[in-house]
Amino acid sequence: AAYLLRDFRWIQLAVTLPEFALLLWWCSLPESPRWQLTHGKFAEAERAIRRAAEVNGKSTADIDHKLRKLMDKALADKEQDVTNKRANLFDLCKTRVMIKNTAILYFSWYVFVLY
């Protein structure tokens, strides 16, 4: 792009304009059915799943049964998660995997900030 657009203002415009289109598209995207189910929005989740099945050319005959199972699982998970424990910094050091991931992210952040 820099070869075709020599002026920095045009380069900035060429990079920024697609971002506005992405922002408009992002506002029109529906929430995921998984999020809708966990937040009790069952009708919206059903609409989203039915629309996805239609777009993908899948049969919608057994959607009701599968959706009922997903709703029951979402309700069971929500009841099980009655304690709203707040996470803290020490939660990042509870397992070896979390320690490794945290160290990698901190190192990456440090390198990118210095660069």
User: What's the whole-model pTM score?
Assistant: 0.50
pLDDT at 84: 61
pLDDT at 27: 81
Residue-level pLDDT at 104: 95
8 A C-beta contact, residue 106 and residue 96: no
Alpha-carbon distance 41 to 50, whole Å? Answer: 14
pLDDT at residue 101, rounded to an integer: 94
Sign of CA dihedral 15, 16, 17, 18: positive
Domain boundaries, the chain: 1-30, 32-114
Instruction: Give the pLDDT confidence score for residue 1 in this predicted structure.
Output: 58
**pLDDT under 50: residue ranges of the chain:** none
- The answer to whether 66 and 45 are in contact (CB under 8 A) is no
